[in-house]
Structure 1
């Protein structure tokens, strides 16, 4: 069998940890090959070895049957290997074309020939159906478009083998479908793709074969046509996983959060929330469904004090808290799992133990007369790390060294431990594997069962349908419908999210 890439018995170690332990991965020409594993299983490490960012301690890499030494990404590019990273490597003030040619500039008479570069970029973009404007500034385009720029960057450098690292983690459902079409177009043109993911639905839809790794060890390679999501999930986490959230009938009580006629402007000063009304009760999970960019972020920022609102009312337990400082909001009984865990959830260079104390460090027993009691802080952190199964070498490890799933578990532990009356969970499972998702859903339901109010914002419709007791649909800064998850469908929600009214979307009992 002729393979375009062979990674044979690869071992990669970091201080105190074996990230890849004797792993073999073989990619056939013209296939989409999934690399599946939990957060922190060693998937990205293995691909960073292939791309030349890391050097393996052991093992051999072959390209088209020939042994190669890939000591840096330029050698990988020369061998026809390109990588689309999970966190994009783009310069915001530059145009699409400037980003794509960076480091590979073609010059004419000592000057960069930007016109020729723009034409080349446009030609590649049209050939693969990427629909990217070569002159657009990165800062002005959507996340989905930025990802296409990363894909174009690899194609511009002549990549025949493309590595996609968790490409759908930050995309809306529509963008995911578009990306799948792009991948199929690349395969038609004779490219080969390795797809790092833990989304089983996407593997079943688009991949030919899948290699599973668990805790740094290769578990095996299977044909997608001969497996199913349940089998892949148990290969990945080493036990059976339930996809349906196990929850009893809820018993909602009094209103905890009541929002009336709220108006909020976005960063450009345009209306983002336009006369919104919403209530969340004790003992319920209220899910907010909507296409990204319909005011969800501004709504949550207004509730949590991160953004000033123009007018209206936000009451928590009958107390007005519109435009309070963020600390006053959290002290009044709000827990917040933020949408962007790196920007708003963690101080990445602080130890994970200190991150767990970020909301309470100034209170007893963690502080006395303004002096921090690190012994108490780390003792508390240690117990929460254990309770929430945060996998970290120790409580002193910097937050940035943890995988996304473990960073998220630490934030959730911190917020729930404060016992808030209202828990706001924004994209709580974005980029996480099925094991971590199952764990987080259980914690949200536990909060509900303890009589707390939970406000869940997610772009994953199956998550919204699975976890919520009621679903509020947001469109252009207003709640346009409130539906019962047991009496609606993904199709109806999709139509409501796109602005159809309830009659057009199909009659559903209001709740």
Structure 2
């Protein structure tokens, strides 16, 4: 008997067939991975299992019994829990208070905090989910917060646990700890559905894999009998290069020099603490670190989007401290931002306007105060062709492209400015293997053209694959500088948790 059977599930949204007669069968007590490109329909499918959406057609069976899941409450009743990519926790409450929220144990008419603490402690110890039940959420690291989310599902009696991209915000050490927890849950008879796009993780932790593409199931695989290349082929429909080959390239003179940079965050707290480094033309310097350790503020300071408290920035030998984004672009700096909606695209603008942002006032895009639409249309078509943006409709609104195609639009626009220096933040966040392969090739092409590149990414595999040098940031400081072929994921992972390079090397 299957723990979960979803049979011929159909889900439509306006203009999109998100799930096209999908059948998913998950055995009791297994870790079952669901993989696919962005927009393949995997999250939509899981959201129907958890009651966030209702199928237009199809049936769902839990432990062989047909169920009608109209909302998350119905899902919880039949033993389904879901840990979302963005945690649903209240920062100011303790671990115990968060776990029991909505299902609080009572003593008479009052909330029984002692009982809540005791029950949460027992659950955490039973499944190896070690947490401090009295700690406030705002005071514990991301990996610990995720444990709280898992305990929440167990507290509500979940036998089937859906984990949506659970490793996206974790350090390598936290990923290993999560996998240990998943194995322990499995040993205790729990069934786990694991949504991921990281194929090496899928290979390490899953028992079976369902692959989706364009709303359909394209493959059902046993992990022990497959490999990442085969999974990628089912995902994309063609052979994919999972790790681009990087030839040695001799870097030239320094293009960016940062000296003792101090930058504050939006709360007025110091987010970048006395940081110094340089980037040379024709090299890629990668910055590794868990989100929220000053990388965003560093990028915004370099690109003119955030005020600098102290320190200096030199670009191509010129002091540009305090320059505006427009001035920096004029000097030859380009920026692929981590938030493509906030700083990369205007959702309500057509593609042809989005590809000229930052150059819209200059010839040949403008004649004085007037836009040269004939040239803009021609230029937009070229970019969409060269960077494989789909659909190839220049009048398509920026917000209506899929995530991968929005990213290709931004990458195409910035690369076509022929910059001397390129700041790239999270270039492949949420993208599928096909789009990742394409964007990685474009980045390496820029390196060959002697463009200096600063790469900020949460994906360690990406940092190792592309970088010539790696800097690791923790709480606004650089913990150390290493070369990819002279370090290990474990060493970088230790620096990501606050160990300086010398300590990490001592172990």
- Give the TM-score normalised by the residue count of structure 1: 0.86
Map of 2:222 onto structure 1: 223
- CA 1:398–1:153 in structure 2 vs 1: closer, same or farther (change >3 Å)? farther
Moved more, 198-207 or 328-337: 328-337
Map of 2:250 onto structure 1: 251
Deviation string, structure 1 residues 430-460 (Cα, Å, up to 9, x no partner): 3333222211111111111222111112243
Deviation string, structure 1 residues 259-280 (Cα, Å, up to 9, x no partner): 1232334556555444332111
Map of 1:6 onto structure 2: 5
| 3-state SS in 1 of match to 2:7 | strand
Deviation string, structure 1 residues 71-112 (Cα, Å, up to 9, x no partner): 222211111111222233344555545544444455555555
- CA 1:245–1:220 in structure 2 vs 1: closer, same or farther (change >3 Å)? closer
Map of 1:505 onto structure 2: 505
- CA 1:101–1:410 in structure 2 vs 1: closer, same or farther (change >3 Å)? farther
Map of 1:155 onto structure 2: 154
Q: Distance in 1 between matches of 2:382 and 2:134?
A: 52
Moved more, 131-140 or 202-211: 131-140
Deviation string, structure 1 residues 449-499 (Cα, Å, up to 9, x no partner): 222111112243332222122333446655565444344444554566654
Q: Distance in 2 between matches of 1:492 and 1:99?
A: 34
Q: Distance in 2 between matches of 1:375 and 1:69?
A: 55
| 3-state SS in 1 of match to 2:231 | helix
Map of 1:470 onto structure 2: 469
Map of 1:332 onto structure 2: 331
| 3-state SS in 2 of match to 1:277 | strand
- CA 1:104–1:496 in structure 2 vs 1: closer, same or farther (change >3 Å)? closer
Q: Is contact 1:354-1:378 (8 Å) kept?
A: no
Map of 1:70 onto structure 2: 69
| Cα RMSD, aligned residues only | 3.3
- CA 1:210–1:504 in structure 2 vs 1: closer, same or farther (change >3 Å)? closer
Map of 2:163 onto structure 1: 164
User: Where does the alignment leave 5 or more consecutive residues of structure 2 unmatched?
Assistant: none
- The Cα shift of 1:203 comes to 1.1
Question: Aligned ranges for residues 259-278 of structure 1 at < 5 Å?
Answer: 259-266=258-265, 271-278=270-277
Map of 2:283 onto structure 1: 284
User: Where does the alignment leave 5 or more consecutive residues of structure 1 unmatched?
Assistant: 507-511
Q: Is contact 1:277-1:478 (8 Å) kept?
A: no
Q: Distance in 2 between matches of 1:125 and 1:345?
A: 42
Question: Aligned ranges for residues 135-146 of structure 1 at < 5 Å?
Answer: 135-146=134-145
Q: Distance in 2 between matches of 1:63 and 1:501?
A: 50
Map of 1:413 onto structure 2: 412
| 3-state SS in 1 of match to 2:212 | strand
- CA 1:350–1:189 in structure 2 vs 1: closer, same or farther (change >3 Å)? farther
Instruction: State whether structure 2 residue 57 is matched by structure 1 residue 58.
Output: yes
Question: Aligned ranges for residues 205-224 of structure 1 at < 5 Å?
Answer: 205-224=204-223
| 3-state SS in 2 of match to 1:39 | coil
| 3-state SS in 1 of match to 2:415 | helix
Moved more, 414-423 or 495-504: 495-504
Q: Distance in 1 between matches of 2:398 and 2:179?
A: 32
| 3-state SS in 2 of match to 1:225 | helix
- Give the TM-score normalised by the residue count of structure 2: 0.87
How many residues get paired? Answer: 505
